[in-house]
A and B are shown apart, each in its own frame.
Chain A
Amino acid sequence: DSGVTQTPKHLITATGQRVTLRCSPRSGDLSVYWYQQSLDQGLQFLIQYYNGEERAKGNILERFSAQQFPDLHSELNLSSLELGDSALYFCASSPKLAVYNEQFFGPGTRLTVL
């Protein structure tokens, strides 16, 4: 157990819908990262937050947005869902901004769009 929690574990929804994925980082970690992993694919970086502020953006679609709250948990919002959005979404946290900090991954949320 990495100490990073993600809810829900599984999510099944229909095209056009909107969902929210939640992540709680390890205690004391200020940085949160979101990744998308499609079937048999690598990890695609979506976005990073540090202490409530957006720090870096990857290949995140305009239909997707995220935020980090004062208690440091983060939410990833996916709207106007398409079949291709079906994937495993991982959140990771690390103690500080970058340098050589390891990222600790949560268990992931499996999103299925029907």
Chain B
Amino acid sequence: GENVEQHPSTLSVQEGDSAVIKCTYSDSASNYFPWYKQELGKRPQLIIDIRSNVGEKKDQRIAVTLNKTAKHFSLHITETQPEDSAVYFCAAKAVDYGQNFVFGPGTRLSVLP
């Protein structure tokens, strides 16, 4: 089955700096990769996703890149703000009705003012 690894487990950056979180997956059949943000005590919320036929996707300060050959994808947050502080989860999914999302263990991002 699919296995998703995520690094780093914790990340501290100064406000205004960039943050990068990396994930690797094992199942070459995976072709959908969402990223979720979870604030303390709250539900996970989708912030960006990418499909396997795309190498990069941007949404304002957030971008995701995908390298299918190497089986890894990354989340990039630029101009970080204190409200970006949260736990970020990557996930991988094979678009096959029998498959489901496999989540990485999460990265706790702290943006220091």
Q: Which residues of A contact B (CB under 8 A)?
A: 2, 33, 41-45, 48, 55-56, 58, 90, 97-100, 102-103, 105-108
Contacts and interface: CB of A to CB of B under 8 A. Distances in A.
Contact of B103 (A2, A42, A100, A102): A42
Contacts of B104: 42
A102 B99 CA distance: 14
Contacts, number: 52
A45 B46 contact: no
B89 A43 contact: yes
B105 A41 contact: yes
Interface of B: 32, 34, 42-46, 49, 51, 89, 93, 95-106
A105 B43 contact: yes
A45 B43 contact: no
B68 to A, nearest CB: 16
A41 B101 CA distance: 16
A90 B46 contact: no
Chain B interface helix/strand/loop/mixed: loop
Contacts of A100: 32, 49, 51, 95
Given A99-B95, A102-B34, A102-B46, A42 B100 contact: no
Nearest to A105: B43
A107 B44 CA distance: 9
A96 to B, nearest CB: 10
A42 B46 contact: no
A43 B98 contact: no
Given A56-B99, A107-B42, 16 more contacts: A33-B100, A43-B103, A44-B103, A45-B101, A45-B102, A45-B103, A58-B100, A90-B43, A97-B97, A98-B93, A98-B97, A98-B99, A99-B95, A100-B49, A103-B46, A105-B45
